[in-house]
Chain A
């Protein structure tokens, strides 16, 4: 497992040096501060405004980081050929690909922890209580961001980094509207998107903002079910990505 962890660590170190990702975090923290100021302008339920705003900002920034990191990490190494000295060592491409994804996943976890601490600070200042359902929501945000990273990694094997980010964000938009697409498809509004909807996950499963707002926690079984759903999609994207990467001429 030493080679695997070496690549995970190198990926994490490489991401910690990416300036663009820090910019996203700073913007997120800035927006959380704006959220706090907006909450102060509201009469009553200031904590709920902070919570609503905070969860949205946390999710969007982590999703953007996931798309950006997934689009760049393998693609950049292919373009700059820095993966040559790594892949000529006796390690398989499967190990390399999974390790790259895990490095990104850990980075996303670190980002989420940082942004959650800022959000908790804002909640504390607005007099809000921190409930367990908030952590359930954030854990599912992490699962979703890992899924986005896996989809971006796969997409980056075919497209340029910027096109991959765009494709991944479009994928995310469709995934969050899959139930509506399904509804339209079942009620006579059949579109191409409706026919191929099954290649998109139902991202609503990962959204718990309303539940957080009203402190309606998931049961452990429900949480496992939703996280498991995400894990299956992550595995799906990683396996397809691996199959492509395994036979790719570098």
Chain B
């Protein structure tokens, strides 16, 4: 039995077990349980205020669950090392806008404890992957929303993550920006890595997700394979 449990833990990228959180005396999430295997894609859907971002914040250690536990690749989310294999793209560009693109990415490389040579290689590669080559020296305050979104994606790639969490990645983007992010999500999925994203766009769910977590006022409305949700 114990061996079976261990085997399951090795297979899981994320395990959320009976997680609840109350903020300002209001219950935001109620007994959420989710398990996601490595290499799978999970779409988190729900209306504004359903608790999608709060769930991501708990997974990433930005907020603390009132009850329940969370494991990332078998490590408790309390342990900062649990985030070694995780990349995160927040909904809005929470960046130091006085930095240049390159400066911002080198800052994040340093946070990942990369030496200079490795950081230079990864920064260059991340900039190329998000199609911002040639803009390295430009200040982030001159960037459009779409370019900032690409910058956020670039910073999330620096640690070569196995799991990527995208919080409403299409929000506020023009059609070109949406198409870029959508294509990019497909590429990520094709690479066999794990992806979790939240969205309001049902088309994105159908095209990319393997599993769906539907939240309604902090409670699970549905969690399971895409086919079941469609039905």
Residues of chain A touching chain B, judged by Cβ–Cβ distance below 8 Å, are: 2-3, 5-7, 10, 13-14, 17, 80-93, 247, 249-250
Instruction: Decide: B155 and A91 in contact? CB cutoff 8 A.
Output: no
Q: A3-B111, A6-B110 are in contact. Are A87 and B61 (CB under 8 A)?
A: yes
Residues of chain B touching chain A, judged by Cβ–Cβ distance below 8 Å, are: 23, 57, 60-64, 80-84, 86, 88, 90, 92, 94-96, 98, 107-108, 110-114, 152, 155, 159
Q: Within the assembled complex, what's the spacing in Å between the Cα atoms of A59 and B169?
A: 49
Number of A-B residue pairs with CB-CB distance less than 8 Å in the complex they form: 71
Q: Would you mind naming 14 contact pairs between A and B with Cβ atoms under 8 Å apart?
A: A2-B114, A5-B110, A13-B98, A82-B96, A88-B60, A88-B61, A88-B62, A89-B111, A90-B81, A91-B80, A91-B111, A249-B62, A250-B57, A250-B62
Instruction: Decide: B88 and A10 in contact? CB cutoff 8 A.
Output: no
Instruction: Decide: B111 and A81 in contact? CB cutoff 8 A.
Output: no
Instruction: Decide: A3 and B110 in contact? CB cutoff 8 A.
Output: yes
19 additional A-B pairs beyond A85-B94, A249-B62, beta carbons within 8 Å, are A3-B112, A3-B113, A6-B111, A13-B98, A14-B98, A81-B90, A81-B92, A82-B94, A84-B88, A85-B95, A87-B60, A88-B62, A88-B88, A89-B108, A89-B112, A90-B82, A90-B83, A249-B64, A250-B63
Q: Within the assembled complex, what's the spacing in Å between the Cα atoms of A233 and B209?
A: 53
The residue in chain A whose Cβ has the minimal distance to the Cβ of B97 is A82
Q: A2-B110, A3-B111 are in contact. Are A80 and B94 (CB under 8 A)?
A: yes
Residues of A within 8 A of B108 (CB): 85, 89
Residues of A within 8 A of B80 (CB): 90-93
